[in-house]
Structure 1
């Protein structure tokens, strides 16, 4: 692998996809900084992985974002890769009268957080001929019924990534924008059904390998594993496929009592 010699910031870097990439990137000879909201968790990770640097930051908080921006500009002025990996995934019954604060939590983290961190660091990344890797999801291509807010946030990340990439080309900016589109990954704590027994889920190591290959080959969008199938399902017979996927997923998350219609 030749993805080396970079200075990389990864949001949500203490668990799941973010932490997996942080360790692999560091092993390839990159300087890696991770962020997380949980200070004790971050300190534990840094103590166990001294090759990593870290900063406590909540991507949904303006004060934290300003502090992160100052920290990066001061300590890591050669930052040339941003990986927006911070994300949460919730299954919701929309008829359960949930408070708005619950319904907007994923929007704030997955979508607004991605946009906010990117925009804050865009000048530095552009000056350094940088790369932005936005993590969306296979479920940005096809709604699954059970994760209504997650679906829309990841679709938003997809369209934001496309727009940023096209503007960078149009305005002649030194910026590469890559969308990483994973399926559910078995070793993450994103949600309860991401088990190794599900054949549509993907091993984290396989996702990282496929992503590195895509980065080296100049890919702008990396559909990994089952996300390739979801992409096609969203293009062809999307209404029929949405109904089939939603029926299956809603049955998994909100099973009806026997005889209930």
Structure 2
């Protein structure tokens, strides 16, 4: 009996190849939290918060020094509460299921600080790091993502910055919308999960987004010889999902 093809593997007799490509092209990114603003002050109305109209929800994570704190949102969230109250004994979080710009009124007798974040599933569009375009920086290797046990498309580019440090850019990445994918750097160019697991490697970071372009700085002590490929690893399933060999 012949073995089954891995998800995302498009052999010549794969009747679902076109459907797989279409799913990968239209699938949203895995939901992620991104910072909108950092706030601090005393009682009063904040400036308008630029919450994206495409945000699934947004939240405020606060600290305060008084007896309590109250947040009021305008316009009123559809089907939700305008007011949120908390105490100042410990850090707190309040979440609203609402998209679009809002105004936040804060009532508390003492100073407070907060971080506002929104949850989105749109592609990440990080521009190249300024250091990647600075004099003395150069592209030293690149490759394209190919399936390992899952679908993946896009490019990986390795830069040596003017400081000598290595930096990685993933361009137009598209892979399945799982929330527990991580970026591994492998010394070799493994093609299977078993090869990935047995080849010297290190965990670089959690994948910022399953769609779009994103940058990563490698640790300062990592040399070029240690960077043979970029692997997107699915933690829950303990498998390599997609990988790009760097040449």
Kindly indicate which of the two structures has a greater share of residues assigned to helix: 1
Greater relative contact order, per chain length (Cα 8 Å cut-off, separation 6+): 2
TM-score (norm 1): 0.24
Kindly indicate which of the two structures has a greater share of residues assigned to strand: 2
TM-score (norm 2): 0.24
